[in-house]
């Protein structure tokens, strides 16, 4: 019978959790930027009636 390397399994699990954690942070930052962009865009578009989307592009 093949011996199970528990340390390797733990590290794989840890890497998965870590990657999901960082992906989660990245998505939150991205969505916050997109949300801010839309708020900014809609606010200026309704008040001044011109398109400023060229000048304000979220990173």
* Predicted local distance difference test score (pLDDT) of residue 46: 59
DSSP state of 59: -
Angle CA 24–58–15, to nearest 5: 20
- Rounded distance between C-alpha atoms, residue 59 and residue 40, angstroms: 14
Structural domain harbouring 55: 22-59
> Could you tell me if residue 12 is inside a domain?
no
Q: What are the pLDDT digits (tens) for 4-45?
A: 777 787 777 877 888 888 888 888 888 887 777 777 777 666
> Could you tell me if residue 11 is inside a domain?
no
> Could you tell me if residue 37 is inside a domain?
yes
Which residue has tokens 């398109």? 51
Residue 52: band (very low, low, confident or very high) from pLDDT cuts 50, 70, 90: low
**Average pLDDT of the chain, as a whole number:** 74
In this prediction the pTM is 0.47
Q: Identify each DSSP E strand in the chain by its residue range.
A: none
Number of domains in the chain: 1
> Could you tell me if residue 40 is inside a domain?
yes
> Could you tell me if residue 14 is inside a domain?
no
CB 44 within 8 A of CB 52: yes
């Amino acid at each position: 019978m093949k011996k199970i390397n528990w340390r390797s399994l733990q590290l794989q699990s840890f890497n998965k959790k870590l990657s999901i954690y960082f992906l989660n942070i990245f998505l939150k930052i991205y969505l916050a930027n997109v949300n801010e962009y839309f708020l900014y865009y809609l606010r200026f578009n309704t008040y001044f009636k011109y398109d400023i989307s060229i000048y304000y592009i979220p990173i």
